[in-house]
Chains A and B, each alone.
Chain A
Amino acid sequence: MYLNRFFRWIAMLFLLGAGVFFMLGSALGSGPVTSNAGPPISKEEKIANLKASKKAYENDNERLKEKWTEVNHRILNPGVVTKTMSVLTSGKSGESDEWHKTHLELIPLEIKISQNASELKKIDWEIDKLQDESKHSCFPKDTKVLMANGNLKSINEVSLDEYIMTYDIAKDTLSSSKINEIYISPNNHYYVLNDVIRATAYERFLTQNGWKKIRDIEISDMIFDGKSFTTVTSIQKVEDMLTVYNLNIDTNHNFFVSKDGEKPFLVHNSGGGGGGGK
């Protein structure tokens, strides 16, 4: 009888597995395409190549965004939009759709910016795989978080609905907000910034050039401490199995972290407030 029951369970699990496989369909068989041309190269070389490629995409996107911003500056000015349209449509177009003509300059830029962004994500995933780093951005348990009342609390001791200090970037001022979610997970590494702050690869700090993953922060970058910017003087990676924590904040989507009451730094929260997914 037990044997029968055992086989029945096995059969059910098999059916379930087959169902999952069927639902995933051919997408599984046609996952991301990897290029394997050329002689084998070391992991370090691959990472260096990927980082160079990432830089090229970032530079290209910067150039495209500058152009995009400039076009918007002109096109969103109601005083010149009519003249701009007449310039854009002065030649014989051959296109009947008015929407295409009026938006001619922006659309190709937006398509390219979007494609570059997804290619940058892909490069990041390749780096993740080579460096064995997960996308979860987190902090070790002894990281101190700046609470709304100005006190510091270890990240593993905060509770849901507690109020925390955040930075309202739009209004350029300190603000407070509620903790919506607390995430706890295992991780295999952390980076150490200026021998003080520890965080996993994807944790973002506000730098003079905008939000930057700790993995991408370089010596001499400047990170925001709520009042001014502090220069990054050292950054190391430590491989170690540990439990890590992160928070989701109701508004502003950021908070301050510190080690033992030393200067706090502004970091991006986990989850909400991110870009649109697939």
Chain B
Amino acid sequence: MKTNHSKFLIILFVLFSFIFQGFLTNMRAHFYSDAGDSLLMEKKYTEALEKYKSAAELESGYAYYRLFGLYYEGKGTAKDLHLAKVMLEKAVQYEYDEAQVTYAGNLIAEGRDKDKAISLLKLAAEKENVLAYIKLAWLYYYGNGVPKDIHKAEEYVRLANAHGFKMVLSPYVEKQEISSKKEMSSKNITAQIQTNLKKLGFYNGIADGVTGPKTRQSIADFQKSKGLPKDVVISEKILLQTEEALR
């Protein structure tokens, strides 16, 4: 009788553990992700990375997306674009909506598998992801990857604006944008990089837009401090790197 009773309790315990295993796994993933978020907020990137790795092992799409960000930006680890891409794909696999938007954006930018991109954006839109609404609005507006449909575009604009956007559909004015980029393509980019590096404490010369040894050295020092690959040829990429570091 006693033995039967014990067996019953053991079976009950095993059943209980089995039922709650999924729940506990989710809970653990949340704990690790929360800890990672707090550390990220305090700019303790290495520790945050470890917490997100623990959450990712528990199949958290959110944690994979955070790992993607850290590998992409080289925070808490060396910059690794290949690993970043792997993390992003994992986050998509676990249906994390922000990852779906980023991944879809990349597919569209590369001009490949737009159908997959659109279906990922629609999945994210179902979760009320506002960035998905905006991407879909522009895609329907321009008929990019989908048949041109202004009404559909307007519907996504209304949904986006219900989340605090002030989006208005209007044709893109190509000339202004391209010319502004061209203006930024030589001396101005160098001057802006110098200004940014000055703010970051890597450059103490004059922001004159001239690329000399001092500027190259300060770019190299900046990239080394951020774990970025050395690339001292002036480009918009370095400008973006310095702008990101200033945020």
Contact = CB atoms under 8 A, between A and B. Distances in A.
A224 B60 CA distance: 36
B129 A19 contact: no
A275 B128 contact: yes
A91 B236 contact: yes
Contacts of B205: none
A105 interface: yes
A102 B144 contact: no
B158 A106 contact: no
Contacts of A27: 28, 31-32, 35, 51, 54
Interface string B10-34: 0001001100010011011111111
A51 B235 CA distance: 39
Interface residues of B, number: 94
Nearest to B100: A276
Contacts of A93: 231, 235, 237
Contacts of A144: none
A169 B158 contact: yes
Contact of B82 (A78, A92, A97): A97
Interface string B229-244: 1010111111010001
Given A35-B42, A112-B244, A119-B37, 12 more contacts: A24-B24, A24-B28, A32-B38, A72-B138, A77-B142, A80-B177, A103-B110, A110-B101, A110-B131, A210-B162, A275-B128, A276-B96
Interface of A: 5, 8, 12, 15-16, 19-20, 23-25, 27-28, 30-33, 35, 62, 65, 68-69, 72-81, 83-85, 87-88, 90-95, 97-100, 102-108, 110-115, 118-119, 122, 169-172, 206, 209-211, 253, 273-278
20 contacts: A8-B9, A16-B13, A25-B28, A31-B38, A69-B165, A78-B144, A80-B174, A84-B177, A87-B178, A87-B182, A90-B185, A91-B238, A93-B231, A104-B236, A110-B102, A110-B131, A118-B37, A211-B163, A275-B128, A276-B124
Interface of B: 5-6, 9, 13, 16-17, 21, 24-25, 27-35, 37-42, 44, 51, 54-55, 60-63, 65, 68-69, 72-73, 81-82, 85, 95-98, 101-102, 105-106, 108-111, 124, 126-131, 134-135, 138-139, 142-144, 155-156, 158-159, 161-165, 167, 172, 174, 177-178, 181-182, 185, 229, 231, 233-238, 240, 244, 247
